[in-house]
Structure 1
């Protein structure tokens, strides 16, 4: 009986780690096969000016991992620390604009030699994932982030709204990188966007 209880305590402890590991490895994205003929093309991060890159970014569209699904008015806020790491805060409302705002914090580390474009994001000790900056415009107003397996991706903007021409141009960049751009869904930032074509449902 004592051995059984010890075993159950181990299972209870390691279950959350297994779940996070599943997220980290992309096993919980449940995505279809990528039909893009450039799907096997490796993703290359771009160099970024980290101090300029910091601040608030609104999530315009994404291929989310399961914990992001159903969020509206979501945004990220990045702060460069004195030790060179990055405080990575996520805000959003789960299920609708009337829901309370949720807030999650992570700590990111820039991979040496990557020009600031490759980050290791600590989800939960000891689990890290790799986040790639795939594009940032010269004015640092829009950016694309990706995941090495192309099962996850994000389009961010400094403003909560993005015109259709800019959005489709960014999708075209993602397609050229080998992403299945049809999997991206726009994230509602305003109630009037709910139910509009191309927007995710909360």
Structure 2
């Protein structure tokens, strides 16, 4: 019986981890014709759904650069006004499929990866709508600290159509 419980727990954990790695919400499809070189650099977080690892942070940025092994270096940074300190997390991203598809997996914790799905991206790479493996994670990112009300409305509409609860968005101060 103990062996069965261990086996069941192992299979359950493996299923959960693999779901986080390559899973995606229904109605969310990664963009094609993705060019990582145009995506590299600094992005400002315009809006996000709340989650523990960014809770209370403002002035949030994500900076992407290429590593020598062709993975992508990820640095997420934000200011916590409660304790008046900057917080930073460094990770790496890899492609889930081909490099021309905006579907990556990102790790900040060793071997554990989570989906990073770019499902809307401006032609000039000035703003993006990014999801993870379920409807609890969603970000609007931009190259500038602000986006036009028209673009924000467009991204909110896309997110809502995909099934995200956009009423729960947090708009961090930049």
TM bucket (normalised to shorter chain) is: 0.7 to 0.9
Aligned residue in 1 for 2:79: 93
Larger strand share, 1 or 2: 2
Match of 1:75 in 2: 61
**Aligned pair partner of 1:150 in 130, 135, 138:** 135
Q: Distance in 1 between matches of 2:168 and 2:123?
A: 26
* d(CA) in 1 for partners of 2:36, 2:121: 11
TM-score (normalizing by structure 1): 0.69
Decide whether the 8 Å contact of 1:57 with 1:77 is kept in 2: yes
| Structure 1 residue aligned with 2:162 | 177
Deviation at 1:126, TM superposition (A): 2.3
CA contact (8 A) 2:132 2:138 kept: yes
Match of 2:126 in 1: 141
Compute the displacement of 1:114 (Å): 6.1
3-state SS of the aligned residue for 2:28?
Answer: coil
Partner of 2:26: 41
Deviations 1:67-99 (A, max 9, x none): 101001010000022321000001110135x82
Cα offset, 1:184, TM superposition:
1.3
Rounded to whole Å, the distance in 1 between the matches of 2:152 and 2:41 is 21
SS in 2 for 1:159: coil
Partner in structure 1 of residue 40 of structure 2: 54
Give yes or no for contact 1:54–1:77 (8 Å, CA) kept in 2. Answer: yes
1:128 corresponds to which residue?
Answer: 113
Q: Whose radius of gyration is greater, 1 or 2?
A: 1
TM-score, scaled to structure 2? 0.80
Structure 2 regions of 5+ residues with no counterpart? 1-12
RMSD, matched Cα: 2.2
Task: Give the C-alpha shift of residue 44 in structure 1.
Answer: 0.8
8 Å CA contact 2:50, 2:168 repeated in 1: no
